[in-house]
Amino acid sequence: MLGLMKFLTKDSAHSVGDDIYPAFQISLWNKMSHPENHFCIRAERGKGEAVRRAIVALGLLDRTRRVISEGGFIYFPVTRRPEPDEIERISKAGEVLVNPRTLPEISPSCPKSVKEFLQGRVPPDALRSLPKSYDIVGDIIVIERLMPEADPYRKEIAEALLRLHKSVKTVLIKTGKVDGPYRIPVLELLAGEDKRETIHSEYGIRLKVDLSKAYFSPRLGFERNRVASLVKEGEKVVDMFAGVGPFSIMIAKRHRSKVFAIDVNPDAVNMMRYNLSINRLKGEVTPICGDASAISPKLHGAADRVIMNLPAQSIEFLGAARQFLKESGGVAHVYLFSGPPPIDSAVRKFAESASRVGDYELVNCRVVKPTAPKEWIVSIDAKFKQL
């Protein structure tokens, strides 16, 4: 057995990397307070696994450093210099040498999910209640809400999100319902830079958004792309509740169309103007600040298509929408809140008001996103007929 414990035998040789040092030099090395003071155990490759198990069984394997394979040997990093009896036990698995060698550090692996990152840092019931989704607007994450079990760990969750999304600078949480005429949410900083302004990119357009001054939801990106793809060259469009301009800009980016983009919020219209300057467009967008129903007489009969993205009130504006549309008819994209079953309820709600406005044909209906338990935003595409 002692023959295998070369570290301990005076006349045996010891290697540092691939250099061989006599035993007395090793002990001198240890006394010299080697700057890093790291050790590794060298084993023949064929015995590597058995030796590894013996090192692990002794709790000696340094998991922060790499195991290296070199020249027919495996080098196992250990957390400290092994005691003679420990070396003896390891040697039962195969001939080993102890080296004062610092093996490279393993860079801390990136967590792949918030849950993985928070494992062991927050209680299990908080882990089970982590938010299933969150919005990423440019380099800002917005959490909709946290379950009561997860809420005490909001800072930890936000820090984990920052670690997970390297390009994200800020994590915010909505603290109240999106409310008021401008539909702006109340947001609280959870982690990162204290800012609300960012540049968001979607489907080839860029948008400056200040989440404290204007409404914006990245979850409508798919819907904006869908509507933009329905627009035909040369069409005139009225975006009645345009916000910072995502529908209007996406349409004008792709089509030689003329879009009138209306919003009652002056900050949103200012951001829209800026957004027009940073996107190269085929078509033309005219930003208008004002109440859509007050604008409708001025653009009477101008549009082939209207977009009505004001889910809480769109139905009340159907009369104005019909005024914008040409007498010969046109399409309205209407967004509305709906209860269960979302499509049936939305169609019923729409029909009650739309039938008073004019004849129409229902072209399409889809659930856009859930907004609360048993509440969804539904989009309805309706073609209003000749007046």
Q: Is the dihedral of CA 104, 105, 107, 109 positive or negative?
A: positive
Of residues 4, 40, 97, 268, which one binds ligand SAM by CB under 6 A? 268
When the beta carbons of 15 and 257 are compared against ligand SAM, the nearer one is 257
Residue 262 interacts with ligand SAM (CB under 6 A)?
yes
* Region binding ligand SAM by CB under 6 A among candidate stretches 36-44, 58-66, 243-251, 275-283: 243-251
Applying CB under 6 A, among 82, 185, 192, 246 the residue interacting with ligand SAM is 246
Q: Which of 156, 235, 263, 381 binds ligand SAM (CB under 6 A)?
A: 263
The answer to whether 212 and 187 are in contact (CB under 8 A) is yes
Q: Which residues from 202-231 bind ligand SAM, rule CB under 6 A?
A: 214-216, 220
Q: Closest approach of Cβ 228 to ligand SAM, in Å?
A: 12
Q: How far apart are CA 219 and CA 205, in angstroms?
A: 15
CB of 229 to ligand SAM, least distance (A): 16
Candidate list 242, 259, 315, 336; residue touching ligand SAM; CB under 6 A = 242
Nearer to ligand SAM, 251 or 292 (CB): 292
Q: Contacts with ligand SAM: how many residues (CB under 6 A)? A: 21
Q: Binding string to ligand SAM for residues 309 to 328, with x set by CB under 6 A, is what?
A: xx------------------
What Rg value do the Cα atoms of the chain yield, rounded?
33
357-386: contacts with ligand SAM (CB under 6 A): none
CB of 221 to ligand SAM, least distance (A): 9
Binding-site member from 291, 301, 366, 367 for ligand SAM (CB under 6 A): 291
Based on the shown chain and the rule CB under 6 A, indicate whether residue 247 belongs to the binding site for ligand SAM: yes
DSSP 160-225: HHHHH-TT--EEEEE-S-SBTTTTBPPEEEEEE----EEEEEETTEEEEEETTTS---GGGHHHHH
Q: How far is the CB of 220 from ligand SAM (least distance, A)?
A: 5
The CA angle 311-314-319, to the nearest 5 degrees, is 170
Ramachandran angles phi, psi of 362, nearest 5°: -75, 120
Amino acid at 64: T
In order of 8, 47, 131, 338, the CA distances from 93 in angstroms are 17, 7, 48, 69
Question: Residue 55: exposed, middle, or buried by beta-carbon count in 10 A (0-12, 13-18, 19+)?
Answer: buried
Output 101 or 254, the one with its CB closest to ligand SAM: 254
Nearer of residues 99 and 338 to ligand SAM, judged by Cβ: 338
Sheet with 96-99: strands ordered across: 68-70, 73-78, 39-44, 96-99
Q: Are strands 375-384 and 360-372 parallel, antiparallel or unpaired?
A: antiparallel
The interface region with ligand SAM, picked from 18-26, 109-117, 240-248, 341-349 by CB under 6 A, is 240-248
What tokens appear for 77 in the block?
């990093």
Which CB atom, from 115 or from 369, has the smaller least distance to ligand SAM?
A: 369
Range 41-80, binding ligand SAM (CB under 6 A): none
**Token pair of 82 as six digits:** 């092994």
Site for ligand SAM in 111-140 (CB under 6 A): none
Candidates 264, 299, 318, 347: give the one binding ligand SAM (CB under 6 A). Answer: 264
Of 146-185, which residues contact ligand SAM (CB under 6 A)?
181-183
Reading the block at residue 25, the tokens are 């030099």
- Under a CB-based contact definition with an 8 Å cutoff, are residues 65 and 38 in contact? yes
Q: Which long-range contacts (CB under 8 A, 24 or more apart) does 361-369 make?
A: 361/385, 363/331, 367/342, 367/343, 368/219, 368/220, 368/223, 368/335, 369/219, 369/220
CB of 289 to ligand SAM, least distance (A): 9
Chain residues binding ligand SAM by CB under 6 A are 181-183, 214-216, 220, 241-243, 246-247, 262-265, 268, 291-292, 309-310
